[in-house]
Structure 1
């Protein structure tokens, strides 16, 4: 059976290699892990054939950051001395001949993962001497650490020069105050109100309407403050507003708030008479999706979407 599977795999790899094609696949490491989307490409060598798997990003995984152009202002242009300092730093950190024998240092094939090295070293140590305590010595890591220290010592003089040439200063930005005279021009002195003396006390009459407006505004502000302080869960009346308010407060945790929102969406969908509550559920779902994208937590929304699809397929079936 294994020979037949190997022949089928070899035929697939050869066919993909001849047609110069790749395959879009879905990878799932275990039943509890989230699926990944990727592609496999064939690889044929003189002693083996295989396929390489490359993970593909989703739209939520892509981030586009816009930065200002540093060449736009003259004060950001480096001087010739600063450029020479950076060139000297690059030269001093060159690892081509940094090894003791004049060879290249820290070559990728000789730089090992310290976690894996420590694990195998502990297993070998425990198998050979089970009664002795584990030693923390690691010859490979000590050699790399010594090499890094030697490279850092060579760069110290250049770094000191860079510290002198690239000075950092604390700048206080003073906000420019624009007055009415500067904005609208000079105002005629006859139109200005006379300045009151210190002994004059003139009070404007307060009408009943102004008192009513002040009372209503203060009452609404107090009610909003009390609601904000007492809010702990996402309610069914205004779920989107409650969700955003809880996110601003930061209490409870982000996972707990999203869990409440997911449960509310499922409750709206399951308890809806026809499609009466579908619009509110869709608004909650859209708000949850935008928040998960912003917080770089797409798995919460994807799990909820899979659960909704599963329930919909069960109802249709």
Structure 2
């Protein structure tokens, strides 16, 4: 608090009869030996309230105003048509976006200009030394006669089109209406579905609420009758929605909601067939053998003891009654109206702090923003006995970490015959030079890696497998040989990672890329490099293993040319 001008400020306050109220939280000062006893906690509570985000109230904007129809009112007198209004109920809050600015070099008063709110240059802007960054986009086409092999074209010369296979289908602006699906605004009930038959995973969008037209008692009464009919029959309505003319139609589900002082329909968008993703996974409650037999008791299936222990553990982690209300009674631990978006309010917190203290480090996030990012300690402590029973029932054991750099430490697998395979191979005159047979390349490569005692032996084995892979690619009919080549590359990569020798593998992959781009392995072999990239068989990065490739080298290797 600046005290230099207090002699002038005090007479002015008295002259204008200004009352100065100073609100303090804690004026205790150990240095001066001052401590106030029995302080009122109201001020401290007020400061704590500043750490609770304030939810912004939004003005309701209708996304649809029109009729809710059942049947065609233009053809049938018995059809239903209700004036309704539709408003968003649940919508994801967006975080504020940052703008790009540069520090101006021309700081003179006569030449300084800034960006106004409409995006145009203005002479009366703020003198903060910043200028907004403008974005310019240019369009180029390949032209061998132009400098650099590309020629700039004006946007007006461009036309839109669609890709059909490898063919560009051009549709002019005058014919653009042929791609428009003509629709008229409306909300038409298509049918009804039993409440218990609806699957929750079909919810695909934000939720809206539908009410009768405001000020129209007849519409409100009619909609209330429709809502009560759905509620009493435990049913949902399926409707077709077109919010505006020529907008794409949507299929939505209408669910009734009845409260003591409010009735409405909640709607959620339903997926079309193209929106569904169908996956098949093995069942969790049984094991299906190759012959189709179903096994209910298996070592990979939970037994009754494990199911009971897990059920008790889930019950012990119940959050619905872990909280306490003002009277100390059990209540919900994290109610929805107290669960705030951490990212949104953290950004607001940092912006406000940086605006006041430009050079200071931002404060830690508010406690309420991180409160629900982990289970409460007391709940975890109370549930520990139940968790211990789960670990005991599931026979959980700690697995030691995988050893790195296994060379000289990995014990070769022992055959059932207990014969010394290495000695037998060493006695074979055909194995004198330890050449890898392309017909059995991967097993023999692994055998050589296990027996290798020097780096030269490892490099020789990788070189042999590399030449075999190159030969498979070169003589592949189409992409028929890519599969075994990719498998050999995968095995080589795994072995080099285990032996902590990424340099050998990276050298081979660099050579593979060079030969594929140069066409040394045959014309049209670029697809092979695409498969290597998509299957994540590229260079071993330094972040994964010491001595690996840098991020720039990895990016350059993935580049097309």
TM over 0.5: no
TM-score of the aligned structures, taking structure 2 as reference length: 0.29
Higher helix share: 1
Higher relative contact order, structure no. (Cα contacts within 8 Å, ≥ 6 residues apart): 1
Taking structure 1 as the reference length, the TM-score comes to: 0.45
Query: More strand by proportion, 1 or 2?
Result: 2
